[in-house]
Amino acid sequence: MSAITFSNSPSELPARIALLGCGNVGAAVARRILATSDRLHARLVGVLVRDVKKDRGVPSDIVFDRFEDVLDTRPDVVIEVLGGIDPALRHVSSALESGFPVVTANKTLIARHARELDAAAARGGTHLAYEAAVCAAIPVFAALRHLEGDRVKRVRGIVNGSCNFILTRMQSGASFEQALEEAKILGLVEPDPSADISGRDSAEKLCLLARSCGFQRATVDQIHVTGISAITSDDIRQASRTGHVIKLIAEFDAAAYAENPASGLRVGPTLLPRNHPLAQVNNEENALTIETELAGELFLKGKGAGPNPTASAVLGDVVRVLSGASRAPSFAAAQSETAGRQAGAGGEQTIHETRRRYHLRVSGNALTPDGVLNELKRHDIGASEIVLGRDHARVDTHAAPDEGVRACADALGVGLGSRTLLMPYA
């Protein structure tokens, strides 16, 4: 198979690429374009940086510290890898309104400002592509576009490689602090790792996945988020004792979301059986399961983080943009936000209630066995196993509604001044 090129004819001028940001990901993108410019039939014409004096391995005559100078190069595509909101939002909005197509890897930007960016693209008669924003090299949105004739019922996966690396190392005996420090040394987390370990990064990515399944009103604020900072080595050992592995899972349930957005979106530690496909995803790998009505369950796995995998996804979007084959991942025509409310041909409405087993760990000086038992009874939660100590408790519940178990955990945490960790069984 011949290589895909940006141009249909060798006689045409090479495509002009502008790059906003030249950090780890931006530098990987720049290196690839510079090294394969003939094969890709493209050239880098402008790179936006903060400090033009710093050597980034690109020709100094195309490095600028003013956004306007970059746009003056009249690029065919603008790549944004600045990260964050400011100045990315201003620059991407301006580029789109000026008619320049934009490719971005910025999940925070898309999760929180997609509507205004879509409007800017419409005003400029162009479009925005963001395959690299979720799971890097794994073609998640491409897979969802391929399934548009089907209906997605559920998406579940590991979408943060940094947290997965930490949990993998903890399975091997490292403490949370040791695993986090190792992740920092390897460059898998930022100096401030809060976005990763709090679950916020995963929540932003989950928001994009829900929207790509047609639920355009999904927002980050609707997602119930729990990070991994409360997980201890003892939690890992207890999970192993019962044949489980702890993973940070992002999940979207279409039917539950249609009934109640708060119950259809979740990010948090989850207990997976050792033989579950997601339990076998280790280190900084990402993976997703997509469950549909017709195709059944699909499993996608690959490198979901790092400069090179992200650069691969970015350049894939660039190729599609320049060939005219790109469009924003959207299920709007195929998926309804009332999916799951209709039951059968009669159209009778049903209530979708998610019930599952949970593991609840509670600790605190004010905790008493009676206090734990009373809260379980008050919230009508049965248990298959309860281990009670003077200042700690572990409870494995029977299948129960998500909201009821969360309310019980909150009552134990707030009412008794305790520390809680709540994890569902997959």
Q: What is the DSSP string of 383-409?
A: EEEEEE-SSEEEEEEPSEEHHHHHHHH
Residue 406 has pLDDT above 80, yes or no: yes
Residue 8 has pLDDT above 60, yes or no: no
Do both 95 and 189 map to the same domain? no
Evaluated on CA atoms 30, 32, 37, 40, the torsion sign reads negative
3-state helix, strand, coil in the chain (%, to 5): 40, 25, 35
Q: What is the mean pLDDT of residues 234-249?
A: 96
Do both 57 and 199 map to the same domain? no
307-347 confidence digits (pLDDT tens)? 999 999 999 999 999 988 665 554 343 344 544 444 333 44
Higher pLDDT, 328 or 153: 153
205 is catalytic: yes
Do both 255 and 342 map to the same domain? yes
3-state secondary structure of 83: coil
Q: What is the mean pLDDT of residues 359-367?
A: 89
In terms of pTM, does the model score above 0.85? yes
Residue 167 and residue 230 in contact, taking contact as beta carbons nearer than 8 Å: no
How high is the pLDDT of residue 259?
87
Q: Would 8 be classed as within a structural domain?
A: no
Do both 177 and 205 map to the same domain? yes
CATH (domain of 365): 3.30.70.260
Residues with Cβ within 8 Å of residue 340, at least 6 apart in sequence: 254, 255, 256, 257, 258, 259, 350, 352
Do both 42 and 183 map to the same domain? no
- State which H helix or E strand residue 273 sits in: strand 265-273
Residue 11 has pLDDT above 90, yes or no: no
Q: Would 134 be classed as within a structural domain?
A: no
Q: Report cis status (omega within 30 of 0) of the bond before 307.
A: no
Q: Which domain holds residue 161?
A: 140-305+329-349
Q: Would 3 be classed as within a structural domain?
A: no
Do both 278 and 400 map to the same domain? no
How high is the pLDDT of residue 260?
86
Q: Would 173 be classed as within a structural domain?
A: yes
- Name the pLDDT band for 352 (thresholds 50, 70, 90): low
Residue 255 and residue 297 in contact, taking contact as beta carbons nearer than 8 Å: no
The total domain count for the chain is 3
Q: Name the nearest CA neighbour of 396 among 416, 421, 366.
A: 421
Q: Would 310 be classed as within a structural domain?
A: no
CATH (domain of 120): 3.40.50.720
Do both 56 and 171 map to the same domain? no
Q: Would 314 be classed as within a structural domain?
A: no
- State which H helix or E strand residue 81 sits in: none
Residues with Cβ within 8 Å of residue 336, at least 6 apart in sequence: 214, 258
Do both 278 and 176 map to the same domain? yes
How high is the pLDDT of residue 37?
87
Q: Would 416 be classed as within a structural domain?
A: yes
194-207 confidence digits (pLDDT tens)? 999 999 999 999 99
Residue with tokens 């050992």: 237
How high is the pLDDT of residue 262?
81
Report the alpha-carbon distance of residue 107 to residue 133 in Å, rounded: 5
- Name the pLDDT band for 369 (thresholds 50, 70, 90): confident
Residue 66 has pLDDT above 90, yes or no: yes
Q: Report cis status (omega within 30 of 0) of the bond before 87.
A: yes
21-44 confidence digits (pLDDT tens)? 999 999 999 999 999 988 889 999
Report the alpha-carbon distance of residue 91 to residue 69 in Å, rounded: 12
CB atoms within 10 A of CB 220: 18
Residue 415 has pLDDT above 70, yes or no: no
Q: Quick one: tokens of 30?
A: 């720049």
CB atoms within 10 A of CB 325: 8
Do both 147 and 213 map to the same domain? yes
Check 205, 247, 301, 303 and give the catalytic one: 205
Pseudo-torsion of CA 194, 200, 204, 205, nearest 10°? 80
Which of the listed residues 95, 129, 163 is the one where a domain comes to its end? 129
Report the alpha-carbon distance of residue 298 to residue 143 in Å, rounded: 9
Angle between helices 200-212 and 107-124 (to 10 degrees): 40
How high is the pLDDT of residue 325?
67
- Name the pLDDT band for 161 (thresholds 50, 70, 90): very high
Residue 243 has pLDDT above 50, yes or no: yes
Do both 164 and 295 map to the same domain? yes
Do both 123 and 184 map to the same domain? no
Strand-pair partners of 157: 250, 288
Do both 22 and 75 map to the same domain? yes
Report the alpha-carbon distance of residue 21 to residue 88 in Å, rounded: 9
Q: How many CA atoms lie within 13 A of 349 on its CB side?
A: 4
Q: Would 98 be classed as within a structural domain?
A: yes
Which of the listed residues 86, 104, 129 is the one where a domain comes to its end? 129
Residue 248 has pLDDT above 90, yes or no: yes
Evaluated on CA atoms 209, 214, 220, 226, the torsion sign reads negative
Which of the listed residues 314, 349, 384 is the one where a domain comes to its end? 349
Residue 351 has pLDDT above 90, yes or no: no
3-state secondary structure of 248: strand
How high is the pLDDT of residue 102?
98
Residue with tokens 């997965």: 164
Residue 212 has pLDDT above 80, yes or no: yes
How high is the pLDDT of residue 326?
61
Strand pairing of 42-48 and 63-64?
A: parallel
Residue with tokens 């576009």: 145
How high is the pLDDT of residue 327?
57
CATH (domain of 290): 3.30.360.10
